[in-house]
Amino acid sequence: MLSTKMYKTIFILCLSFFAVLAKHEFYDGHTLYNIVVKDVQQAELVNELGYQIPIDIWTYAKPGQPGQILVSKEDKQQFLDALHDAGVAYSILTENIRESLELEEERLAAAAKQKNERSTFGLDFETIHRYEVVDAYLEELGTRFPHYVRVESAGRSVQGRDIKYLKISTSHFQNDTKPVVMLQSLLHAREWITLPSTLYAIEKLVIDVTERDLVDNIDWIIMPIVNPDGYEWSHTDTRFWRKNRRVGLLPGDTCVGVDLNRNFDAFWGTASSSNVCSDTYHGPSAFSEPETINIREILRPYMSRLALYIDIHSHGSMILYGFGNGQLPPNGLILHVVGVAMAQAIDEVKWAEKPNYVVGNIVAILYRASGGSSDWAQLAGASLAYTYELPSYRGQSGLNGFLVDPDFIEQAAYETWEGLKAGARQAATAFYRQIAEK
Ligand SMILES: [Zn+2]
């Protein structure tokens, strides 16, 4: 006979099983489409659909580059009718995305269970770590490596989470003649694959240092979870959540959240949405959100020596630079040259079946966008500022887009680090050359 304790255990197991099922219910029947456009007119038409139907554009379609769009059961007919009318070709990538969500959850949970015990201190790259785990890890790093790691708090998120970041420096940031490199991830909540890349950078700069010059010559600022509220929400409730968790924007909180990557003071409000319900809602004003103010404030003392700023997103295998209005920064050529060097470093070690990285001005490569963090950094004084779009993964499991397959986590982190290193070295060399010329 089963004991009361066992009944209780079974009951709890059943509850958690149904909680998992219920969690992804919202996405039941959502279909992920692959959209192929013939020309710019078709591309614009598809992108305009985003303003008329509440579709979720994962990647924008361009001639020669298919787009991915997630559409709910309710909106499918209207969406497909519009595509037919415009003669736009499409195919189905994932019929019911809920099944992929359940698969992702299962695979990540299994990977977390099976992971090998690490022989060294640090977080593994088998799974995607939650806010609390990362937060505790950063604290631990500060305690274990006090001679060159400082863990600091940038401030609180909308919901009051402490946003920590690391300052890694052999001179405690006291040497003004050293270049500063800033790395950040998870400005967009659902882009989970970006977190391991900043954690990997931390590992290679603090725990497993194999390239001493990177630590000796550069001061690093690394913020792994810029948007912790949105990130946690994407774990607990809505997997494809992109914005922060600002409430009170509309009476009754009908729609929640500001797109933090449209909230920086860079051509604010000119190519973003003023619709609170939109995924690219820019907020009531530039820097209206604590999460964006945090970035501005922690960089303020170091702007004059900010040699490189990189905001890591997913997905699309791209390295983008400003500006989001189509104008090139005065150092556009250098931005391109260093961008290509970073892309080449990644391409050299990427999996053969993955596309090469594409480098360019964001409007030329993707779309117009205002209020972006890397545009702001470039305008505010960073020598070089970029947005990375990490690759998506579509292996045996079929997990795609923002969905993470554990098989790809370490590779994504490792190859991104190759690009970041190449960029940091070039930025540092240019910085020291400038100092020598003064
Ligand atoms: Zn993003």
Residues with CB under 5 A from ligand 1 (ion): 188, 313
- The matching CATH number, chosen from 3.10.129.10, 3.20.20.10, 3.40.50.1370, 3.40.630.10, for 106-437 is 3.40.630.10
Q: Which residues contact 320 (CB under 8 A, 6 or more apart)?
A: 359, 360, 361, 362, 365, 366, 374, 386, 387, 388, 389
Do residues 312 and 198 lie in contact, with contact meaning Cβ atoms separated by under 8 Å? yes
- The matching CATH number, chosen from 2.40.10.10, 3.30.70.20, 3.30.70.340, 3.90.380.10, for 26-95 is 3.30.70.340
* C-beta contacts of 101-104 below 8 A and 24+ residues apart: 101/24, 101/27, 101/239, 101/403, 102/20, 102/21, 102/24, 103/397, 103/398, 103/399, 104/239, 104/399, 104/403, 104/404, 104/405
Do residues 173 and 304 lie in contact, with contact meaning Cβ atoms separated by under 8 Å? no
pLDDT at 433 over 80: yes
Q: Count helices and strands (H / E) in the chain.
A: 13, 12
292-325: per-residue pLDDT in tens? 999 999 999 999 999 999 999 999 999 999 999 9
- Give the angle 28-29-35 at the CA atoms, nearest 5°: 130
Q: Cite the active site residues.
A: 389
Do residues 369 and 272 lie in contact, with contact meaning Cβ atoms separated by under 8 Å? yes
**Cα–Cα distance measured from residue 262 to residue 271, given in angstroms and rounded to the nearest whole number:** 8
Distance 257 CA to ligand 1 centre (A): 15
Confidence of residue 10 (pLDDT cuts 50, 70, 90): low
Distance 339 CA to ligand 1 centre (A): 18
Confidence of residue 70 (pLDDT cuts 50, 70, 90): very high
pLDDT at 11 over 60: no
Distance 184 CA to ligand 1 centre (A): 12
Report pLDDT for 9: 58
**Cα–Cα distance measured from residue 323 to residue 199, given in angstroms and rounded to the nearest whole number:** 28
Distance 219 CA to ligand 1 centre (A): 25
For the chain, the domains span 26-95, 106-437
205-230: per-residue pLDDT in tens? 999 999 999 999 999 999 999 999 99
364-392: per-residue pLDDT in tens? 998 899 999 999 999 999 999 999 999 98
Find, among 244, 249, 218, the residue nearest to 231 by Cα.
244
